[in-house]
């Protein structure tokens, strides 16, 4: 009995640093402190961000005003490209982690809210979500591009960052 308890505690102690880093990324603490995410966290967050961008922007292409639809078309194209690039690195074995196949609860909740809106209410919420999502993406890619552990992924993050910064500027210019 004592051995099993000690083994469980040892396992928790060894797992704690990985958990703490993941919680730091999830809670936003790493972003505030400028700490690069772990590779698995970066891949997960980048993939979920792309999933949200693509699905919310496909919705915006149907529901948005003309300016929103134009912006949304660019988001679908650009984020599909980054999804394909990231998937290629994972599938080739260059990056050794799994890609999520669905959004996390927070992003799904945002998408569900958008689905319930129409007209000016939709445009306003979509625009706000895009600014917020791109601020997070810029931070994520900037931190990994500067301090990530995987060289190929680090180069890709640095190369992708200017596009995300441009997306943020475009999102801030939307008038939904």
Question: DSSP letter string over 83-112?
Answer: HHHHHHHHHHTSS-SPPPSS--HHHHHHHH
Given CA atoms 53, 59, 61, 64 in this order, what sign does their dihedral have? negative
| 153 band by pLDDT with thresholds 50, 70 and 90 | very high
- Which pTM does this prediction carry? 0.83
CA 118-82-93 angle, to 5 degrees, is 140
The model's pLDDT over 97-146, given as tens digits with 9 standing for 90+, comes to: 999 999 999 999 999 999 999 999 999 999 999 999 999 999 999 999 99
Question: What is the per-residue pLDDT for 25?
Answer: 60
The pLDDT of residue 156 is above 60:
yes
Question: What is the per-residue pLDDT for 175?
Answer: 82
């Amino acid at each position: 009995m004592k051995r099993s308890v000690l083994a469980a505690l040892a396992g928790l102690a060894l797992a704690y640093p990985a958990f703490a880093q993941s919680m730091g990324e999830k809670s936003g603490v790493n972003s505030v402190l400028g700490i690069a995410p772990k590779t698995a966290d970066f891949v997960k967050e980048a993939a979920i961000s792309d999933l949200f961008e693509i699905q919310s922007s496909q919705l915006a292409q149907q529901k948005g005003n003309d300016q929103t639809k134009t912006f949304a078309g660019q988001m679908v194209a650009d984020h599909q490209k980054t999804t394909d690039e990231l998937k290629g690195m994972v599938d080739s074995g260059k990056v050794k982690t799994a890609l999520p196949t669905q959004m996390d609860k927070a992003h799904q909740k945002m998408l569900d809210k958008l689905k319930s809106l129409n007209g000016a209410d939709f445009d306003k919420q979509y625009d706000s979500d895009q600014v917020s999502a791109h601020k997070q993406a810029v931070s994520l890619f900037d931190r990994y591009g500067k301090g990530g552990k995987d060289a190929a992924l680090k180069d890709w993050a640095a190369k992708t960052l200017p596009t995300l910064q441009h997306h943020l500027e475009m999102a801030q210019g939307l008038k939904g």
